[in-house]
Amino acid sequence: MPFCVIKSKTIKIALAMILVAVLLTLSIEGSSAASVFFGNSSRKVPIYRVQTEEKQVAISFDAAWGADKTEEILEVLSSYNATATFFLVGFWVDKYPEMVTKIDEAGMEIGTHSNTHPDMVKLDSETIKKELETSTTKIENLTGKEVSLFRAPYGSYNNTLLSTCESLGLTTIQWDVDSLDWKGLSSVEVTTRVLDRVQNGSIILCHNNADNVVESTKMILERLTMKGYKVTCVGDLIYHDNFVVDNNGVQSLK
């Protein structure tokens, strides 16, 4: 009887090992399950932060709804000699073309935030391409400058989206410091969140029409300046050649 028990356990262990081996050969989003399990996934990742020894960070503003605070944001940025990246949705561009021009003329960088603000992981590559080409064309027609940066709505992405962006010459940008200003936090709460999380090479996410965005932008820039940080647009922070992006979205030179 003891022999039979031991044999039964051995068979169960062997079957379990076979099952694991089979599962690890299956495909997950174009990568084998084994490569995912062992940390060698081919999953693409956008840029969340830049590895740098310089005390430099980028501040960015997503614009999808409302524009009444945007001019004040530009004035605050100018007063601190800071630049920023504004990621604009296509229908926002349609509604506020004069504001797009003012952002550009203020020396700020403009990227696309899609055309209609969908969850783009639910779209096929052709629909994604249409979203991106439509929105970038709208911006470029107003500014005369090529759009090279993209931020995904809701921060949602997959390999299809990132590959399509690459084919269009767009670099996908996330963030490592979320201000959560869209939640209606006070300017002090927003500033505290940012300062508690910021580091060299950080990309800060803000929204152009958040309740307290003007005051929080002023406080953030004031504190970062006091700490010796240079605040720039994303394009002046990231590397454009000879770089790698690790599994955590940290971009560094090869």
Q: What are the extents of the domains in the chain? A: 2-37, 49-253
Angle at 84 between CA 177 and CA 70, to 5 degrees: 100
CATH superfamily of 49-253: Glycoside hydrolase/deacetylase (3.20.20.370)
DSSP bridge pairs for 12: none
The per-residue pLDDT for 15 is 54
pLDDT digits (tens, 9 = 90+) for 147-194: 999 999 999 999 999 999 999 999 999 999 999 999 999 999 999 999
The per-residue pLDDT for 42 is 86
**Cα(254)–Cα(69) distance, integer angstroms:** 40
> For residue 155, what are its two tokens?
């921060």
Q: Which distant-in-sequence residues (6+ apart) come within 8 Å of 116 by Cβ?
A: 89, 90, 91, 131
158, 183 contact by CB (below 8 A): no
Q: Which distant-in-sequence residues (6+ apart) come within 8 Å of 86 by Cβ?
A: 60, 61, 62, 63, 103, 108, 109, 110, 111, 208
> For residue 76, what are its two tokens?
């605050």
**Cα(76)–Cα(78) distance, integer angstroms:** 5
pLDDT digits (tens, 9 = 90+) for 64-88: 999 999 999 999 999 999 999 999 9
Q: What is the pTM of this model?
A: 0.84
Mean pLDDT within 3-29: 46
The per-residue pLDDT for 41 is 55
